[in-house]
Structure 1
Amino acid sequence: MEYGLWSILPPLVAIFLAITTKQVFISLILGIFSGTLILNDWQLFVSINATLEEIVLVFSEGWITKTIIFSFLVGGLITVISASGGVQGFINYLTEKKDLVKDKKGALLLAYITGLVIFIESSITSLVAGTVARPLTDKYNVSREKLAYVCDSTSAPVCGLIPLNGWGAMLMGVIGVQIANGVVDGTAAGLLVRSLPFQFYSIIAIIAVGYYIMTGNDWGPMKKAEKRASEKGLLLREGATPMVSEEATATPPKEGVTPNMWNMILPLLILILMMPISLYITGDGNILQGSGSTSVFWAVITSVTFAGFLYVLGGIMSLKEYIDYVYQGIGAIVPVAILLITAFAIGNVIGYLETGQYMAALVEGRVSGAFGPAMIFLMASLMAFSTGTSWGTFGIMMPIGIQMAVAMGAPLYPTIGAVVSGGIMGDHCSPISDTTIISSMASASDHIDHVNTQLPYALLNGAFALVLYLAAGFIF
């Protein structure tokens, strides 16, 4: 059955409400409800029941359930690592090596490198990079805005490009819905890996941060902030209100624990190494054919189990304390898991209504499929800017983007990359983004000052990415 113009109602409802209310969960629920209304001929009570059933049906797919469990356990792992003193130990190790940092450039490079190597979760990336580098950037009169920019622009881009984390699980999940619905063929892991070179904004953003650190060629509001800090020693603008990092940090170390960076490094190494091993095993020797959901599931269970043995047998905490910290972390991740569930559900509803095919039909014969990646990049960027969430953007835009790519004949891998890059680009520009807020906290910067100084850089990077998506559309 063709639903025509009605097929675009659910994503429009979700996007409009997310923009106006800033409540992504409620917006997604109402987006799902509007879709079930259409599917059930506008029968109110039938549609209410169908909405609830659609959410429950998400768990009928084993790979989705594994992805959600992964998200819960990653929350537990992050909390127990923090409680073990692992994060604090890593911070202490880097800050004690002050002889390695002798100037402003070195202090910023410390934040930059930390942001590149800690890719387990974007918030943790920003918090660790800011906390590690801030004493040194303050010493060498680096503006807090510049530190916030480095933290922010090496968090989400790195997590997107190295998807051995919750980001990878989320993206493989929303891609997997389209595979399960028969829109595209292949495996979620394979499609995601092949799209990584087309995450143009993320790649440009990381390169740009390194360029500004090495050359000092800042411009716009950032140049003024750096001039203020270097000439007057004012790390913050007069009258600015710093956001204190302690408000955003993870669980503090357990009382009496001696901070040790290996308590963080070893469990994370196990998590990271288990990903390719699991993909190899589930893919019968071919990593790209492996099951992404099973791999992240195995990896996080192995890492959490290893951490338990490491901390309990090492006398860092009792078994009860370890379990309590894991539960605490699982509880903290509930909002993310709810977002995942509703994102999967609205992806299914959008698939039933064939929203992407309808949108592609609107431009078919009028707009070449070669423009598909650029169009999707702009749409995802606008949505992420308006809502402040890249993950919510992925949940809505990935099914639309993939369906449009198939219907328009647009290149698939650049389109998937455009969804991810657009979500991250809009997130970097948005004052209501959680990663933007956390980066302000980690650097103790005034939040609006961080947004104002980063925005021109993000827009320029986005313009370069848009040109590349236009080129990719015609070349691939």
Structure 2
Amino acid sequence: MNKNMKKQMKKWLLLTVGVVAFTFMLSSVGFAGGESAENYGILSIVPPILALTLAFVTRQVVPALFLGVVAGGIITGNFDIVGEYLIPSLGSEGYAQILLVYLWCLGGLIGIWTKTGGAQKFAKWAGKKMVRGRRSAKFFAWIMGVVFHQGGTISTILAGSTVRPICDEAGVSHEELSYIVDSTASPIATLIPFNAWPLYIAGLVAGTIPLIPDESAGLDLFFSAIPYNFYAWIAILFTFLLAMEKLPFIGSKMKKAIKRVKETGKLNRDGADPLASEELTDLDVPEDYNTTLIDFIVPIGTLLGVGVIPKFIVGDMYIPQAFMLSVLSAMVLALFKGMELDNVIDGFVDGAKGVTIGAIILGLAVTLGNVSDSLGTASYIVGATESIIIPVLLPAIYMVLCMFIAFSVGSSWGTYAVMFPIAMPLAYAVNPDPTFITLCFAAVTGGSIYGDQVSPISDTTIMSSLACGADLMDHVYSQIPQASVAAGISMVLYTILTAILC
């Protein structure tokens, strides 16, 4: 064990002891003032805030998330962290699907492509046909983000895995690529409603106020609010302008990434820890294997044909089946073209190994989300701020509140579930005007997307980094400035429109 590793272990050991002691102290002195049956008072926000702070300060996400879970166990008195939180979270159906389908199938597919060379072959072909450099490669990534508009994990994986080889070939930094992929995932899903988002949100707002008596009225509200979903529109515009290299404001981290890749060709900074390991990026094509475009087109075509196209035909999507069939098609094709079974299996295994760190981070993020649920984190935040009611500022206040909640819990849908049943009745009590209600509705939608997008414990943030080969915290740091400017502009627009129209 080298000196640097010993130093790091000592630092985290001391930090762990400090976190445990601090949390015990807060709990023992009854610092949870305002505690109710629904939450633990101000202690409710300690685990997510602690995890997020440590992740930003140390750039070490795994121990930061784990310490957040530990703090939650201390606050609730459930000291059996493994039995109470980790096992139920990691054994949940939702995490199992993400692990088996999105992580292992995605990793396995990319691993097989390192054996067949299919993705790289497509990258070279696309480069000749439509990509002329960094700008056109980024525009292609933006187009794919818009096309794969299902939102969240699905969009980031589909878009990221498709465009990464092309953008790598064109010299697009992984910070730029992961921002484009992440910022065209959930935002576009709320603007092009051919997905599950409208029905989910309509179900949450149905019956909350007289203007929304049922789910049909909720759907009408969703569609009528699309023009006012300012954050989503601006986020999509910003990624387009970044792709075209016309964005007037770019944060310092993103500027450094752009300068680095232009001057050195390095897709990640020195010392970065990409979620996609070398097993997913290094080619190992057997000498006697003839790589063709079909090695890329068949798996991707299967993925789209089974997972997305049925949405427009029968109104349903078959995402888990699509990913598994995509991997199987890549395997069968490679075997049919003469690759030995051992090479095919090695490619799949190497690819699955390559996403291990992403699976660990995502598992801990899911666990921390469940800890936050048990503490009533979201209900405490809402209760602590609902007294701040200035009618003209209410949409902007809703947006800030949703930004903070979604950032803390790493979920836009989870934020919707908490906020909409409270936000709609409160807005109606303040001003029953339909336009005012629509603006408040759109603010909740956009604010939740922002918080989810920039949170390092969000599945979309993690999967964007994984699919694009970026360091998770580099992705977070480099996208926050642009996303925050978009959110700030949105809040100003909500305030102006509320003053004028309501």
Fold equivalence (TM over 0.5):
yes
How many angstroms does 1:467 deviate by? 4.0
In structure 2, the CA distance between the partners of 1:433 and 1:270, relative to structure 1 (3 Å rule), is closer
How many angstroms does 1:11 deviate by? 1.5
Corresponding position of 2:450 = 421
Aligned pair 1:128/2:165, yes or no?
Answer: yes
SS at match of 1:320: helix
Aligned pair 1:461/2:486, yes or no?
Answer: yes
Q: Distance in 2 between matches of 1:73 and 1:441?
A: 19
Alignment partner of 2:372 out of 347, 350, 357: 350
SS at match of 2:286: coil
Corresponding position of 1:310 = 333
Ranges in structure 1 where 5+ consecutive residues have no aligned partner: 41-46, 135-143, 164-170, 180-184, 227-234, 384-392
Aligned pair 1:154/2:180, yes or no?
Answer: yes
Aligned pair 1:20/2:57, yes or no?
Answer: yes
Aligned pair 1:395/2:420, yes or no?
Answer: no
Q: Distance in 1 between matches of 2:494 and 2:340?
A: 53
Q: Distance in 1 between matches of 2:358 and 2:470?
A: 20
1:385-421, CA deviations, whole angstroms, 9 ceiling, x for partnerless residues?
Answer: xxxxxxxx66367645642443344767753543333
1:345-369, CA deviations, whole angstroms, 9 ceiling, x for partnerless residues?
Answer: 2222222222211111111232366
Matches within 5 A, 1:30-109: 30-40=67-77, 47-71=78-102, 72-97=104-129, 101=132, 108-109=135-136
SS at match of 1:5: helix
In structure 2, the CA distance between the partners of 1:206 and 1:364, relative to structure 1 (3 Å rule), is closer
Corresponding position of 1:204 = 234
Contact 1:152 1:439 in 2 (8 A): yes
Contact 1:356 1:400 in 2 (8 A): yes
Matches within 5 A, 1:349-368: 349-367=371-389
The alignment-based identity, stated in percent, is 20
How many angstroms does 1:373 deviate by? 4.4
Q: Distance in 1 between matches of 2:495 and 2:444?
A: 11
1:153-197, CA deviations, whole angstroms, 9 ceiling, x for partnerless residues?
Answer: 43222344578xxxxxxx99xx99xx9xxxxx99xxx9xx99998
Corresponding position of 1:138 = none
Ranges in structure 2 where 5+ consecutive residues have no aligned partner: 1-36, 146-154, 190-195, 205-213, 270-276, 428-439
In structure 2, the CA distance between the partners of 1:367 and 1:345, relative to structure 1 (3 Å rule), is farther
Q: Distance in 1 between matches of 2:227 and 2:347?
A: 37
Corresponding position of 2:322 = 299
Contact 1:83 1:325 in 2 (8 A): yes
- In structure 2, give the amino acid aligned to 1:306: S
- In structure 1, give the amino acid aligned to 2:57: T
CA-based RMSD:
5.0
Corresponding position of 1:262 = 294
How many angstroms does 1:58 deviate by? 2.0
In structure 2, the CA distance between the partners of 1:16 and 1:460, relative to structure 1 (3 Å rule), is closer
Contact 2:142 2:240 in 1 (8 A): no
Q: Distance in 2 between matches of 1:278 and 1:415?
A: 30
Q: Distance in 2 between matches of 1:64 and 1:198?
A: 33
1:110-145, CA deviations, whole angstroms, 9 ceiling, x for partnerless residues?
Answer: 4412453376636546643433434xxxxxxxxx8x
How many angstroms does 1:15 deviate by? 1.8
- In structure 1, give the amino acid aligned to 2:360: I
Corresponding position of 2:209 = none
Matches within 5 A, 1:187-202: 201=231
Contact 1:351 1:399 in 2 (8 A): no
Alignment partner of 2:421 out of 406, 410, 416: 406
Contact 1:81 1:87 in 2 (8 A): yes
In structure 2, the CA distance between the partners of 1:436 and 1:334, relative to structure 1 (3 Å rule), is closer
Alignment partner of 2:357 out of 325, 335, 339: 335
In structure 2, the CA distance between the partners of 1:367 and 1:322, relative to structure 1 (3 Å rule), is farther
In structure 2, the CA distance between the partners of 1:26 and 1:397, relative to structure 1 (3 Å rule), is farther
